Structures are given as C-alpha cells and as structure tokens.
Structure 1
Amino acid sequence: MKSPVFCVIRKIVSMVAPVFKAEGVENLPDGPSIVVGNHSQAFGPLAAELYFPRKHYTWCISEMMERDKVADYAYKDFWSKKPLLLRPFFRLFSYIIPPLSELIFTNADTIPVYRDRRVMKTFQLSCEKLDDNASVVIFPEDYTEYNNIVHEFQRGFVHVAKYYYRQTGKSVPFVPMYVCPELKKIIFGKPVMYDPEAKTDVEAERICTYIQESISEIAYGLPRHRVVPYPNVSKKYYPFNERK
C-alpha cells in the first residue's frame, strides 16, 4: 500500500514534469528483462517511474532511502560539481530533503541497491521481480566518460543475470535504453542475451560495451540535440549528439 502523500506527490510531478514518449517498445521482451539506460541526471529515473511502458522496478541507491544517509550522498552525487558559489545553497538543501527522499524512494517502484554486505539482498529482490515477469531498470553510469553520449558503466549489475540463471535456469535479455530529455523520448534498442557459459568478467564487459555502444548509436541517429550527461554540470557544458 503506497503512502497517500507519495501518491499526491507523484501526481503533481506527473503534471509538471516533461512527458516522455516511449519508442522502440517492440524491442522489450514480453517476459523478464534488464533494461539499462543513461542516467541523464534525474531524468532517467523520473522517466522510468512515470513513462516506462511495462511493469518494472528501478534500481535506487539505498542511501536515498535511509534518512541518515541522504544528505551526504545527495550532495556528493548530485550537486558537488555545481558552481562554487552555489554549493553552500545545495549543501543546505541536502539537509532539508531526507524525510522527503525516504518517503519517495521507499514508495516508488524501486529496488534498493546496497553497497555493503547486504548486496545479495539487491540481487535477490531483482531476481524475484524478474521471476514475476517484470523489467528491472538500471542506470549504472559512473563519472568516467565513455564518449559524448554516456559515461562508463559500473559492471556489477550484470551479476543479476548470473544469479537469475542459477535460480531459474533461464537467460535474461539486457535491453539498451536512451533517455533524451530535449526530445522528450525514451528509446529502446535491440536486446542482447546473457551467456551463462561465458566467464563472468568477460560477459560483463561484453554486455556493458554492447549497451554503451547501442545507446550511443541511438543518440547519434536522432536529430541534433544536447545530451544531458550523468554529472550534474552546468547546461553550457552539455554535449551535442554529434559523432566524434
């Protein structure tokens, strides 16, 4: 049962936030899938929550669900790269949002991502959602630039497919997703299947490279637009989707 306060907030956000159109939906399998997209700052998770066309659950860093950890995590991850003069304001703001953050992210369709000994809980919850024929949506970028479209992916999320195969004997497809706020679109590319016979590290590298390249190709094929990068930098530094 979702909190009534959360439902009101979600309704308000849906009225004021950009409306994203989903394209390439035919590339989403009818059964379980792991959908991997560019974070596009807050736009990726927002678009997934409001406009993902199938039953889904989005990975969310656990610190955003734990009131005592929100402030430090939010400032470091969202606002630490803001202009120097604005950082004190955002630091203050980070101390205001913990109750709201906890409310939103524990009520949204999310899976907590733990980076400690509880990490197996993240994998188990993900496998349970996949077994229920849902999509698990992941935004795995870090701060290392891959190209002008995406940043490098953290590799650990691919292990979900390994644990899912161990539990069910089934391979799960990974689906690339490009989030494009300027064109108000989320676009799905062709999936790639997890190979349980391959070595884990090799398979993680193969899948991440495929998805990074697929997202990039989707972006390059669209009309000229500014790409919203993972780091929360000034808009004047947003790159264009021009092939380099």
Structure 2
Amino acid sequence: MSVQKKSSHPLFKSLKRVVRLFFRRRTLIGAENVRRDLPAVFVCNHLGSYAPIMMELFFPYPFRPWVTYHIVTKGKCADYLEAHFAQTELKLRRPFSRWAAVIIAPLCIHIVRATGAIPVYGGSLRITRTLEESLDAIKKGENLVIFPENEEKPFSPVIDDFDVGFIHLGKLSYQKTGNRLPFYPVFINKQKRSISIGCPIIYSPARSFHVERQRIKAYLQESISKMASGR
C-alpha cells in the first residue's frame, strides 16, 4: 500500500502559500523515522490553534486531521471559536469576542473542510462515524493527524493527558486490512520553530486491547514529553 497525496482545492492551496509568507519555515526533526509505504497516525501536541496551523502549513507528509465536529458545523462553530479562540487566544471580552467569532466562523468552516478534516463526535454514539471515515481514509493510504490532549487533565509541563479513543484505529485497521498501524509522536516547539517526529509505536494484536491501548498512550505521551525537554 502506498501513501496517498493530499488533494486540496486550488484556492486552498493558494491560500496556504500566501499564509506561509508570514511564518518562518519550521525545522523538521526526525524525518528519518517516517516510513512512506504505509499510512500512519501522527499524534501531536495542540497549543491551541498554533499546532494545527503549523502542521497544515509545514508538515511535509500529506494527512487528514481529526477536528471537533463543532468547528465544521454551522450553528456551533461560532460558539466554539468564541470560547476556545477569541477569548482564550485573542483575549477578547464580550461583546468583542462574540463579534469576532461570528465573523470568523464561516471562513473557518470552509477552510477546515478544505483540509479534508474528519469530524470527531466525542462523547456521542456518532463517534462510530468518525472511526468509519478514518478507517476508510487509512484503507485509501491516507495519513491522519490527531491532537488528543484533554485540557482538563494535565500530564506533564508541556502536554495534557490524552483521550485514547483514536487508538481503536489500530485494532480496526488490523481487523480490516491486516496492517499493523504505526502511531508517531509529534512535538511542535513554538519557541524553537520546529516539528519533531519520534519513532513510531506499532499496534500489536498479540495483546489485549486494554493493555495495548495503555501501552500506546504511555509511549506517545512520554515520547512527546522527552522531545519537549530535548532528551
């Protein structure tokens, strides 16, 4: 199986080229760790909107990101942007935070959809739709990028604890394709303007899923924390 190139709308590609002009190119560390012949899941720290933007602009491998369904849903996007962007990152207060969110929301929905994003329906039975769409992407040879941090549960000075639903993709991929899915830790360093990719951990069907889920989670969290500390 070969990894598929990402297909984007020409206008979106042009927009990315323009936006890149406002950022210095990021240093890529650990490219030698990446296999190019199999689709993979890249698991990355979040940093609010910063890490997703840097991944979209400078990550050299094509991918489809997981995003909360709020961000691509009319009627929910503005509320989400106000709470998680306008107030937290732009430091705006009402009514300015609301005005900003309402103005940004339509463009945000359009841009995020253009990335090929897969909506994540966390805490809902609709999460099966997320897993099904993700598995279809993997079958087509597409990479995924996931930002699994739960901001309510700190793990280390640099990352929060991970929600582990995405690890089901390892089990599903093996069941449906016979391939053992690799999960790569990725650390975005805002200060050093770098993107670091660690060695992958490969899903193993030989262990119980509960044990394997904890093994993969622990490895990814510890690897990202070590990359952050320079170890």
TM-score, structure 1 normalization: 0.82
2:143: which partner in 1?
Answer: 135
Residues 174 and 180 in structure 2, CA contact (< 8 A), matched pair in contact too: yes
Of the three residues 49, 64, 67, the one matched with 1:60 is: 67
Q: Structure 2 CA distance, aligned partners of 1:194 and 1:7?
A: 33
1:206: which partner in 2?
Answer: 215
Q: Structure 2 CA distance, aligned partners of 1:3 and 1:33?
A: 23
SS where residue 125 of structure 2 aligns? coil
Say if 1:42 and 1:17 are closer, same or farther in 2 by CA, change over 3 A: farther
Q: Which runs of 5+ in 1 are unaligned?
A: 223-244
TM-fit CA distance, 1:33: 1.0
Q: Structure 2 CA distance, aligned partners of 1:204 and 1:94?
A: 37
Residues 68 and 98 in structure 1, CA contact (< 8 A), matched pair in contact too: no
Task: Output the aligned Cα RMSD.
Answer: 2.1
Residues 25 and 53 in structure 1, CA contact (< 8 A), matched pair in contact too: no
1:123: which partner in 2?
Answer: 131
Q: Structure 1 CA distance, aligned partners of 2:164 and 2:22?
A: 34
Say if 1:201 and 1:184 are closer, same or farther in 2 by CA, change over 3 A: same
2:227: which partner in 1?
Answer: 218
Deviations 1:175-214 (A, max 9, x none): 1001012111100011111122323333222211111110
1:45: which partner in 2?
Answer: 52
2:4: which partner in 1?
Answer: none
Of the three residues 96, 108, 115, the one matched with 2:115 is: 108
Of the three residues 166, 169, 180, the one matched with 1:171 is: 180
Residues 54 and 134 in structure 1, CA contact (< 8 A), matched pair in contact too: no
TM-fit CA distance, 1:11: 2.8
Say whether 1:10 aligns with 2:19.
Answer: no
Q: Structure 2 CA distance, aligned partners of 1:6 and 1:32?
A: 23
TM-score, structure 2 normalization: 0.86
TM-fit CA distance, 1:220: 0.9
1:187: which partner in 2?
Answer: 196
Deviations 1:72-131 (A, max 9, x none): 122233345469x83212233112222111110111132222233332221122122222
Of the three residues 18, 26, 30, the one matched with 1:24 is: 30
Q: Structure 1 CA distance, aligned partners of 2:97 and 2:14?
A: 25
Letter in 1 for 2:127: V
Q: Structure 1 CA distance, aligned partners of 2:172 and 2:85?
A: 31
How many residue pairs get aligned? The number is: 221
Q: Which runs of 5+ in 2 are unaligned?
A: 1-6
Q: Structure 1 CA distance, aligned partners of 2:142 and 2:129?
A: 17
2:93: which partner in 1?
Answer: 87
Q: Structure 2 CA distance, aligned partners of 1:198 and 1:26?
A: 28
TM-fit CA distance, 1:34: 0.8
Identity percentage of aligned residues: 32
Letter in 2 for 1:200: F
Letter in 1 for 2:32: E
